[in-house]
Amino acid sequence: MQPSTNAPLKVLTPQFAERLRTFNSAARDLQRMGIRLHRIEPNDNRLTISPEDGQRLVSLQRAWGYQRHGTAGSTRYSAQFMGVEIVWSEPISYRDYATPRDLSFH
């Protein structure tokens, strides 16, 4: 059986190429800012960074759409940077619960 040469395969469609360009540009800009990328997920358009770097981007107003989601044992944060989702997680601190409080009813 002969392979068909009538329809060339296109894995890198124009839309995917543009999305990949945006993703790579955002990753490079973060690295130029001294931000270490902990996880790179181009298929999900997501970059994972440290909690300190995430808070720095938010405080410098370089990220928008900031969201916080509580999960079991940690808080997951997400924001947008140049059209790419950036995420980071922080463990829930036991300090919030370490101080005894008067929970009695009066």
For the chain, what is the mean pLDDT? 85
The whole-number pLDDT of residue 106 equals 45
| Residue 2 belongs to a domain | no
From its phi and psi, is residue 65 left (phi > 0), alpha (psi between -120 and 50) or beta?
left
| Residue 24 belongs to a domain | no
pLDDT in tens, 36-73: 999 999 999 999 999 999 999 999 999 999 999 988 88
| Residue 101 belongs to a domain | no
Range of the domain at 73: 36-92
Q: What is the pTM of this model?
A: 0.75
| Residue 55 belongs to a domain | yes
Block residue for tokens 């989601």:
69
Domain count, the chain: 1
Residue pair 59/36 in contact by the 8 Å Cβ criterion: no
| Residue 88 belongs to a domain | yes
The whole-number pLDDT of residue 72 equals 83
- Burial of 67-99, coded b for 16+ CB within 10 Å and e otherwise, reads eeeeeeeeeebbbebeebbbbbbeeeeeeeeee
